[in-house]
Amino acid sequence: MSDKDKVSDAYKKFAEDLEDIEEKDKEKRKEVLQKGVLDLEQKYKDEIKGTRVMDERLVKLRKEAGMPELIGIGNKVQRKRFKDKDKYDQFLAKEVLEVGIDESSGFGGIMIFSDFCIVFANKRPNWEAPKREIKKALEYLAESGLIPKLHKMKNKSMLITFKPAELESDVLTILSIASVNGLTSYEEVATLTGWQKVRIELALVSLVDHEIAYKDKKDKTYFFPSLKK
């Protein structure tokens, strides 16, 4: 029996075992899937490696089991499990970008770094990536031209912009002012910057148009959901 046939038989046996579990017992099914995937990868790692069809089947099983799609790294994605650290950094950067684009869309494409780390941990529970690795991934994305550089705010927090172009400097200045309390006003910006009326209004309109800020027409205050305390 060829190596390919052995792996195919192993997949068939795995599928038969899954059929014995009632569909309603989802947690049990998940446990069996995870154990089966790890057993397959360990027992047939040489046969699976580099075989596209086998890879696709295994990735599909991993997704169903709630596991990372990366074959051969177990149930948790950790930097120490990668011999090629650069590959880990690239994989992490890809996940960071996907989560960032999805989760920042409701905030005009921006997020505070500390908030993003919490969101990433919730959205990618299988990834054990500390803040320093996430920051490195963001810096890699910035160097690659996929996102702007991180911007240090007035309250010392770091602003991430998941947009293809840099925010205007005036907009960044107002965001820095608003970072203290999560809101600002025309009067506050005017007092702190000394800018002319037209300049302030153009920047504030831009923030509202990009759904980064929302204006309370009653008291003329600008609220920033992504900077909310």
Do 146 and 183 belong to one domain? no
Do 89 and 39 belong to one domain? no
161 within a domain of the structure (yes/no): no
Do 86 and 70 belong to one domain? no
Do 103 and 67 belong to one domain? no
Domain range enclosing 51: 3-74
Last residue of a domain, one of 31, 53, 74: 74
Last residue of a domain, one of 20, 54, 74: 74
pLDDT in tens, 93-116: 988 998 999 998 888 888 999 999
162 within a domain of the structure (yes/no): no
pLDDT in tens, 152-204: 888 889 999 887 555 678 888 999 999 988 999 999 999 999 999 989 998 99
Do 143 and 171 belong to one domain? no
Q: How many domains does the chain have?
A: 3
Give 78's pLDDT tier (boundaries 50, 70, 90). Answer: confident
Do 173 and 223 belong to one domain? yes
Do 95 and 55 belong to one domain? no
Do 70 and 86 belong to one domain? no
158 within a domain of the structure (yes/no): no
Most confident of 1-10, 20-29, 66-75, 196-205: 196-205
Give 46's pLDDT tier (boundaries 50, 70, 90). Answer: low
Do 67 and 103 belong to one domain? no
Does the pLDDT value for residue 221 go beyond 60? yes
The whole-number pLDDT of residue 84 equals 79
Do 112 and 50 belong to one domain? no
The whole-number pLDDT of residue 83 equals 77
Q: What is the mean pLDDT of residues 114-135?
A: 91
157 within a domain of the structure (yes/no): no
Does the pLDDT value for residue 52 go beyond 50? no
Q: What is the mean pLDDT of the chain?
A: 79
Last residue of a domain, one of 121, 152, 183: 152
Do 56 and 102 belong to one domain? no
The whole-number pLDDT of residue 53 equals 45
The whole-number pLDDT of residue 105 equals 82
Query: What secondary structure, in 3-state letters, does the chain show?
Result: CCHHHHHHHHHHHHHHHHHCCCCCCHHHHHHHHHHHHHHHHHHCHHHHCCCHHHHHHHHHHHHHCCCCCCCCCCCCECHHHCCCHHHHHHHHHHHHHHHHHHHHHHHCCEEEHHHHHHHHHHHCCCECCCHHHHHHHHHHHHHCCCCCCCEECCCCCEEEECCCCCCCHHHHHHHHHHCCCCEEEHHHHHHHHCCCHHHHHHHHHHHHHCCCCEEECCCCEEECHHHCC
